[in-house]
């Protein structure tokens, strides 16, 4: 009884083997390739993320930087991101067109506690609501859990950013709460919404990703037969 009581009091013992930091590498999926971001990606990114058009400027509303209405400004920003080791940025390249359609990163590496975050998610209009957008997150989560040995993958966003919160929950992240007055971004308060996937949840989340991304889940017009959340819920009920 005393031994059991101690387990309940202090929590289960865990391996002290740390996770590994991600290396700069390309990751290939069926729809997109994640390439280590370089300054050479900036011109292609400006074509889909820059300019004066409101639909492009709105992409930057909740980002730490931007919007960029001058090509050279985005070039400087991308060059800085490309040099960063944490966050580690990836350009998102469409496998059919070869176009760069956005970028994404892994960040806040904590190998000792085996925690990592997916963030700086910038999907152009060409990438939003596509299978490639979902595959981006699947590939990074798979890298984190299966290859690098993390036990927790986080997603954080401005609590006012409803599309990002919906995306997190659609992708299988669990809402954990709000850090009030967490940051000041572009001179404005940011309350941060926190989401996560943990390693015990990953097998079902992973299988749901794979089932949803399967070509059999889409009709001749490319419309999904089953929503990702529905696939995941059916797996949890099985």
Report the greatest alpha carbon distance in the chain.
Answer: 68
Position 1 scores a pLDDT of 43
If the chain, 238 residues long, is cut into consecutive pieces of 10 residues, what is the mean pLDDT of each piece?
60 94 96 98 96 76 94 97 98 96 98 98 95 98 98 98 98 98 98 98 98 96 96 94
Q: Residue 92: what are its φ and ψ, rounded to 5°? A: -105, 120
* Each residue's pLDDT tens digit, 163-172: 999 999 999 9
pLDDT at 10: 87
pLDDT in tens, 50-83: 988 756 678 999 999 999 999 999 999 999 999 9
Domains of the chain (ranges; CATH) run 24-237 (3.40.630.30)
Q: Give the count of beta carbons closer than 10 Å to the beta carbon of residue 132.
A: 24
Phi–psi pair at 159, nearest 5 degrees:
-65, -15
Nearest to 113 by CA among 174, 198, 5, 176: 198
Check residue 235 and give its pLDDT: 96
CA–CA separation, 56 and 68 (whole Å): 9
Per-residue CA distances from 81 to 9, 41, 87, 99, 223 (Å)? 43, 11, 8, 19, 35
Query: What does the pLDDT read at residue 8?
Result: 73
User: Given this model, what pLDDT does residue 6 score?
Assistant: 56
Considering the entire predicted model, what is its pTM? 0.94
């Amino acid at each position: 009884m005393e031994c059991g009581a101690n387990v309940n009091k202090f929590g289960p013992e865990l391996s002290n083997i740390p996770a590994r930091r991600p290396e700069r590498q390309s990751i290939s999926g069926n729809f997109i390739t994640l390439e280590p971001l370089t300054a050479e990606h900036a011109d292609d990114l400006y074509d889909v993320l820059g300019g004066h058009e409101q639909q492009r400027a709105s992409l930057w509303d909740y980002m730490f930087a931007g919007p960029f209405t001058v090509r050279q400004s985005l070039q400087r920003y991308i060059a800085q991101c490309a040099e960063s080791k944490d966050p580690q940025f990836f350009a998102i390249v469409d496998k059919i067109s070869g176009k760069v359609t956005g970028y994404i990163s892994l960040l806040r590496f904590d190998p000792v506690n085996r925690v990592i975050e997916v963030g700086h998610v910038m999907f152009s209009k060409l990438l939003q609501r596509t299978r490639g957008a979902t595959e981006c997150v699947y590939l990074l989560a798979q890298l984190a859990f299966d290859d690098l040995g993390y036990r927790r993958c986080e997603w954080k966003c401005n609590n006012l950013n409803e599309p990002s919160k919906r995306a997190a929950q659609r992708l299988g992240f669990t809402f954990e709460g709000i850090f009030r007055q967490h940051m000041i971004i572009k001179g404005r308060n940011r309350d941060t919404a926190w989401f996560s996937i943990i390693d015990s949840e990953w097998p079902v989340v992973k299988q749901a990703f794979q089932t949803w991304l399967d070509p059999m889940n889409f009709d001749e017009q490319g419309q999904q037969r089953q929503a990702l959340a529905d696939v995941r819920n059916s797996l949890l009920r099985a």
